[in-house]
Amino acid sequence: MRVRDLLAPGAPRLRLLAAEEELDRQVSGVMTTDLQDPGRYLHGGELVLTGMLWRTGPDDSERFVRTIAAGGAVALAAGEAEVGPVPEDLVEACRRHRMPLLVVPDDVAFGAVAEYIGRQVSADRAADLAALVDRHRLLVSAAGGGGLDAVLDLLGGDLDLDCWVIAPTGRVVAGPADRLSAEDRDQLVRAHLAAQRQRRRPPHRARLAVGAYSLLPAPADPGAEAPLADWLLVVAGDVTEWTAKRQQLAENLARLVAAERTRRDEGRRLRRRIADEVLTLLRQDADPLEISRALQASATMAAKYEGGRPETADSWLILSAEGTGLPEGTVRAVLEEALTDSTDRALVAGAGSGAVVVLPAPGTAVPADALRELLAPLEAGLGSEGRITVGVSAPASEADGLRGALEEARHARRIAAARVGRVCVAGPEELASHVLLLAAVPDEVRRAFRSRLLDKVIAYDLEHQADLVRTLEAFLRSDGSWTRCAAQLHVHVNTLRYRIGRIEELTGRDLSRLEDRVDFYLALELA
């Protein structure tokens, strides 16, 4: 049980005075004491019941709370029957030590509180469930069975333990999805990936507005160096405060999740081979009939994997992705996880640092913004050198159009690679843009072009705080209109003319000329 359960309907009538943010702590037992120093009798996880007879002054409150906190107590319940209302110094001490403080009214017996806790907490039941989860893990790995949702339901119903399995994109693989918002999942994934990147030892703890959570990695491959595609086990509460038996339960559950992920990956192995075959055919500009046969084989496999009858897609689109500073195979695994919610008929091919996805489409392209948002949580795990860039093609309605879609996706990925950011995605709507031309220019040429036009302006801004770069951007967006630009910048037209004149002096360019305006526009895009 948790501390907050002592405030629920049906529990003894206790009141909370301090540390509301710590109510998700797990209670493993109860200790009744009026000793000034009960720390040596605490084992961790107890709710301490006291009549406050140890208190002779304010300093005693600080010493008592510090002692039980060091001993591992999870909450303090103070009775009012002997010495009257709880003093403010005890409330303040509990706030300082983040110790939940409950009041036991004078008409509620300590025995009733202890009996209630005893009924709710059972270490033997936790041990039995740990054995059950361990047996289920063996069954999953040996027989290929499923059942993560059933196990999590069992834990929630029998131990009031909320658990979720979450993919690195925030998708709920198993668990009560309606009890964890998309925003909360995003924060948990980012906290987990950041902790993994910093090589902190699990379990990791994350605190949200709704309470504390423990995060346990569940890698399909324990030897993998990157967690970007691994599932994550989320447990409500702080497992480091649990008893050893309950901690074993969480560890066994994480191993079960890893085994289920391995089973799922085994089921995808044949689909990966088909995906590699389709990509080879596209690269070799093979007969469209051969490509159609491979796609039909993919549909047959999808039907077998998902159940139902094989269905051929009306159109297909292609994603081209590349990873920088990541272990080989990471991008492929990441895209498989990211696209699971959309369809499990995606063919994800590739090796090394890149991947190509052939994805059934409903006749319209996947919005680049939606894909970027889907991959955004991964930024926390990429590190200073890690990067993922993705290009998306327009839909191709026939197999013979997939070759062109592949080229479109590659060009779009080059556009994404030219941008600043850890996760960058570009769609087919940008292929007619000047950005496509910039993406094809070698890096050193682009840097030299940008430097030649903007370095002096940037240096002047840094030295004089003149805001010339922002003025230049606004002037170009206003199509050279002095009045519109001045209004946008909230400056006088004469001030604007002075700034533009200074830019022209620094660069030797004339902003009344279309050619020079285009050059500045491109340089700003490169910046």
Cα–Cα distance between 426 and 382 in angstroms, integer? 19
**In terms of Cα–Cα distance, which of 443, 518, 442, 440 is closest to 476?**
518
pLDDT of residue 363: 45
pLDDT of residue 134: 60
Q: Is 486 helix (H, G, I), strand (E, B) or coil?
A: helix
The widest CA-to-CA distance across the chain, in whole angstroms, is 91
Q: Would you tell me the crossing angle of helices 123-143 and 148-159 to the nearest 10 degrees?
A: 180
**Element at 348 (helix H, strand E):** strand 347-349
pLDDT of residue 129: 58
Sign of torsion over alpha carbons 267, 269, 274, 278: positive
Cα–Cα distance between 50 and 34 in angstroms, integer? 6
CA distances from 375 to 59, 93, 390 (A): 53, 44, 10
Whether the upstream peptide bond of residue 203 has omega within 30° of 0, thus cis, is: yes
**β-bridge partners, 392:** 319
Pairing between β-strand 101-104 and β-strand 15-18 as defined by DSSP bridges: antiparallel
pLDDT of residue 502: 94
pLDDT in tens, 358-397: 877 754 445 677 788 888 888 877 877 788 899 888 887 7
- Segments of the chain scoring below 70 in pLDDT: 121-147, 154-155, 157-160, 220-227, 267, 298-313, 341-345, 351, 362-367, 432-443, 526-527
pLDDT of residue 469: 93
Contacts of 395 (CB under 8 A, 6+ apart): 315, 316, 317, 361, 363, 364, 365, 405
Task: Specify the length of the chain in residues.
Answer: 527
Query: Three-state SS string across 127-176, please?
Result: HHHHHHHHHHHHHHHHHCCCCHHHHHHHHHHHHCCCEEEECCCCCEEECC
Phi, then psi, of 204 in degrees rounded to 5: -95, 150
Is the backbone of residue 47 left (phi > 0), alpha (psi -120 to 50) or beta?
A: beta
Cα–Cα distance between 251 and 164 in angstroms, integer? 14
Q: Would you tell me the crossing angle of helices 493-507 and 443-464 to the nearest 10 degrees?
A: 130
pLDDT of residue 492: 94
Cα–Cα distance between 172 and 178 in angstroms, integer? 10
pLDDT of residue 475: 93
pLDDT of residue 101: 93
Is the backbone of residue 479 left (phi > 0), alpha (psi -120 to 50) or beta?
A: left
